[in-house]
Amino acid sequence: MNEQIRKKLFEMADKKYGEFSASLIPGCDNIIGVRLPYLRKMAQKTVKEQQNWQECMCGEDIYFEEKMLRGMIIGYGCFKDRDADAAAVWLEKFIPLVDNWSVCDSFCMSFKSCELDRERFLEIIEKYAASEKEFEVRTALILLLSHYLRVDCNGGKITRKRAIELGDLEGEEIKGRYTDKIFELLARNYNQGYYASMAAAWLTAESFVTFPGASWSFLSGEARSKMDNTTYNMAIRKIRESRNPSAEVKERVKNLKK
């Protein structure tokens, strides 16, 4: 990131907040201490005011906030430009730089360019979902969670179910446009690291509260045989921690634990 931006980040620094953030992100010891809303506003302002926002991408990122800001600027800038080709290039440039869960999740949520051409970006996501690198896998899965999980067959948005009863597990298997592909990508071992495993468990649990029937079939079939025990049981735990399933559903899900 360029020196001018770095200077602005230090002007917004909050030492106590930096110490708090460091406690939440293991191994991250280069935090300035800038709050996330400030970074988001800075990224949005940069994209809005600078016609060539790409010029901000020069230079190496030394601090956590610089990498976070880079991801946000890419996310907002690519979506503003509506250029799927350029967005695909920027996505592949940034994914290998991700080295913690916080940068990963913020970047994925801001990268709305997936919505410009979901099939095109799905090819890239599939490649990284099959990686053996922890944060490449996590980034792919959180992109699926953010931009693919709740898409219906017409490209509309599907909402989570507020209440899940036993009948929802045994009824018609309602699915979204990408449900089968998501299950296909989830059906593997996640021994790349804790944050890849947690992302897989999170995506599985969110699938369950959106498509309980299809997710139940997946959990009791393909996932049970192909997903590693740690990730599978973590997904079971996260489903049971949710307020959406009834006590009876949680008990039935508990019985799947490996």
Count other C-beta atoms under 10 Å from residue 220's C-beta: 15
Using DSSP, state whether 74 is helix, strand or coil.
Answer: helix
* Residue 21 CA, distance from chain mean position: 19
Mean pLDDT per 10-residue interval, the chain, length 258 residues: 88 92 90 95 92 85 94 96 95 96 96 95 97 98 98 92 93 90 97 97 97 96 94 97 96 95
Cα–Cα distance for residue pair 27/38, rounded to 1 Å: 23
Q: Where are the alpha helices (DSSP H) in 52-178?
A: 64-81, 84-94, 101-110, 118-129, 134-147, 166-170
- Cα distances (angstroms) measured from residue 197 to each of 24, 91, 130, 239: 18, 22, 13, 15
Question: What rounded mean pLDDT belongs to the chain?
Answer: 94
Which pLDDT score is estimated for 4?
Answer: 86
Whole-prediction pTM: 0.94
Q: Is residue 25 left, alpha or beta, with left meaning phi > 0 and alpha meaning psi from -120 to 50?
A: beta
